[in-house]
């Protein structure tokens, strides 16, 4: 994939999955052997854990919005500078072991 294609995937992850909560996006953009090295304690470090995380976000926060300010890429690495905004309107139940 090109750097531009990789940037587009990162934008989809942020806007479609995180911001909109569209779980189906993961099937398209996350590899089946994906490992999340920053998963919260007690959360699976795979795509299922990402689904749990985004559900938690949208349960506790309304009007979730991500502004992507810039992206830089080299080879298959993309870095994104962004701001996330939301209103805390619901209960957030922490993950349990």
> 43 lies in a domain?
yes
> 18 lies in a domain?
yes
Side-chain half-sphere of 89: how many Cα atoms within 13 Å? 9
**Which residues make Cβ contacts (< 8 Å) with residue 32, sequence separation at least 6?**
47
What is the rounded distance in angstroms from the CA atom of residue 80 to the CA atom of residue 15?
12
Residues spanned by the domain of 34:
3-88
Instruction: Answer whether residue 56 shows pLDDT above 60.
Output: yes
Give the pLDDT confidence of 24-48 residue by residue, as tens digits.
999 999 999 999 998 887 889 999 9
> 93 lies in a domain?
no
> 95 lies in a domain?
no
- pLDDT at 95 (0 to 100): 61
> 61 lies in a domain?
yes
Percent of all residues in the chain with a pLDDT value above 90, rounded to a whole number? 77
CATH number of the domain where residue 18 is located: 3.10.450.50
Contact 66, 19 (CB under 8 A): yes
**Which residues make Cβ contacts (< 8 Å) with residue 21, sequence separation at least 6?**
54, 55, 57, 58, 64
Q: In the numeric block, which tokens belong to residue 8?
A: 């587009």
- pLDDT at 72 (0 to 100): 98
Mean pLDDT for all residues in the chain: 92
Give the pLDDT confidence of 2-28 residue by residue, as tens digits.
999 999 999 999 999 999 999 999 999
Domain count along the chain: 1
């Amino acid at each position: 994939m090109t750097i531009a294609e990789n940037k587009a995937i990162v934008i989809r992850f942020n806007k479609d999955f995180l911001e909109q909560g569209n779980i189906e996006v993961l099937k398209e953009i996350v590899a089946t052997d994906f490992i999340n090295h920053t998963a919260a304690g007690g959360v699976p470090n795979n795509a299922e854990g990402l689904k749990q995380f985004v559900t938690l976000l949208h349960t506790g926060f309304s009007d979730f919005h991500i502004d992507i300010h810039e992206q830089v890429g080299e080879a298959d690495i993309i870095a994104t500078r962004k701001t996330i905004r939301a209103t805390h309107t619901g209960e957030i139940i922490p993950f349990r072991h």
